[in-house]
Amino acid sequence: MTEWQIIDLHPDNQKAIEQIASLLLEEFQEHWPDAWETIEEARQEVRESLGEDRISRIAIDPQGNVLGWIGGISQYDGNVWELHPLVVRSLYQNRGIGRALVVDLERQVKARGGLTLWVGTDDEDNMTTLAGVDLYPNVIEHLSKIKNLRRHPYEFYQKLGFAIVGVMPDANGLGKPDIFMAKRID
């Protein structure tokens, strides 16, 4: 039996909302410090995840403490869903929580008739060979030779069946691309 479970995040669960907001600031600070610069921006992200055409799920321990959070955003009339965001408390990483959250999101998307799940995996911190270089004019050539230099999450998603489907050069500034990944929901 696992030491945690995955449940829906409800708007009245203020304790979890506050924990998630703090979790976003803490866990994204090292490699993506501009993702959420204030606790209020992080809270707003969590509140938005509770909107219509959204999925918001949390992994909690027996005391109700948030260990991880995943969100899904409906796009293309519900055929495609964006995985946004995924975060797991660093003390609980590499224990299967992130994987379980993604698999759970896939089930939720499938139940809503979704066909594809996609995720953008920014490289703002030179974690892959796509960062810090000019990808133009041979963007696809660079993409075909991607290498993970410092534990960029794209390999985590590949292990879960996602394929790299593209890259947006300079999405986050010069030499800071966004790597697009997707998978068909079976």
> Which pLDDT score is estimated for 24?
94
How much is the pTM? 0.94
Domain annotation covers residue 44? yes
Residue 1 pLDDT level (bands cut at 50, 70, 90): low
Do residues 166 and 123 share a domain?
A: yes
Q: Residue 45 is part of a domain; what is its CATH number?
A: 3.40.630.30
Do residues 151 and 67 share a domain?
A: no
CA distance linking residue 184 with residue 74, whole number of Å? 15
Sequence letter at residue 94 = N
- For residues 23 and 87, is the Cβ–Cβ distance under 8 A? yes
- Give the tens place of pLDDT for each residue, 34-85: 788 899 999 999 999 999 999 999 999 999 999 999 999 999 999 999 999 9
- Give the tens place of pLDDT for each residue, 91-120: 999 999 999 999 999 999 999 999 999 999
- Number of structural domains, the chain? 2
Domain annotation covers residue 161? yes
Domain range holding 14?
Answer: 1-74+82-95
DSSP string, 103-144: HHHHHHHHHTT--EEEEEEE--SS-BTTTTS---S-HHHHHH
